[in-house]
Amino acid sequence: MSESESEAMLPDGFPAGLRVFVVDEDSVALRMLQKMLLQCGYEVTTTDFPLQALELLRANIGNYDIVLIDANLTCMDGFELVENVCREISLPVIVLSTDSEFKNVMKGIKYGAIDYLVKPLRLEELKLIWKHAVKKYLNEMKNINESSSMDVNISHLTKKSKDLVRKRDAYDDIALKDNLTSQKRARVSWTPELHAKFINAVNQLGINKAVPIKILDIMDIPGLTRENVASHLQLNKNNRKIAPTQVHK
């Protein structure tokens, strides 16, 4: 709260070197983006050829920390790309678009994106994206118990994570407030529609073969996990058992 001047200057300890991969069909916008990202002190790799984006990412696993994808593509469905990248590459993906429609934003998130930024982008927003990379990393560390499948990619962030935790207070004013779409994996909301798909899958399989993984497979909902389904399945079984009156409180 004591500093207010340096807007363009990067604060001490700002996570420079974040490796950002950007996909945008519009090469002009792409250039601007690149420029801004560079101003943030990030390492930037760009492509204006979305059809190759996934391939490039595949070929460079471990070389990037975060992915930015403009969803307004003409050569393919931008959200499909988002979904595929999220599925295949374990990196935080941020959707970019000029469309601020709630529905569209939801779509981006639903397809696995960790955030959705509406163009035109402000430097301020880009300065904050490193948080997603760190958060994703922290979550994975928490989830993955003993698995040794974490690669060198992480060591790049590890040091910074510690640093950032310590320095968090310094960034709080701007950082803590941008919680639009980040946070941990959102809990599943079993809307009637989603539940319907669940029921549908169960029926399709037959009550005996209706096992979490198969249900999940048939439902084909991005981001939905086996655990989500298992939990819901359990709930439904229980409900049937003790349908009516319940002794409680």
Contact residues for DNA, defined by CB under 7 A: 185, 187-190, 210-214, 225-228, 230-235, 237-238
Least distance (Å) from DNA to the CB of residue 5? 39
Q: Is 159 helix (H, G, I), strand (E, B) or coil?
A: helix
Tokens 């979305």, located at residue? 50
Beta pairing partners, 93: 67
Least distance (Å) from DNA to the CB of residue 238? 6
Give the nearer residue to DNA in terms of CB position, either 122 or 226: 226
- Identify whether 50 is preceded by a cis peptide bond (ω within 30 of 0): no
Least distance (Å) from DNA to the CB of residue 155? 24
Give the nearer residue to DNA in terms of CB position, either 157 or 210: 210
> Exposure string (b/e) for 190-217, b if CB count within 10 Å is 16 or more?
eeeebeebbeebbeeeeeeebebeebbe
Alpha carbon distance 194, 200 (integer Å): 10
Give the nearer residue to DNA in terms of CB position, either 58 or 185: 185
Alpha carbon distance 112, 131 (integer Å): 17
Give the nearer residue to DNA in terms of CB position, either 36 or 188: 188
Least distance (Å) from DNA to the CB of residue 181? 16
> How many other CB atoms sit within 10 Å of the CB of residue 85?
23
Least distance (Å) from DNA to the CB of residue 90? 17
Give the nearer residue to DNA in terms of CB position, either 14 or 111: 111
Give the nearer residue to DNA in terms of CB position, either 110 or 167: 110
Least distance (Å) from DNA to the CB of residue 128? 24
Instruction: Give the contacts of 153 (CB within 8 A, at least 6 positions apart).
Output: 61, 62, 63, 65
Alpha carbon distance 37, 115 (integer Å): 16
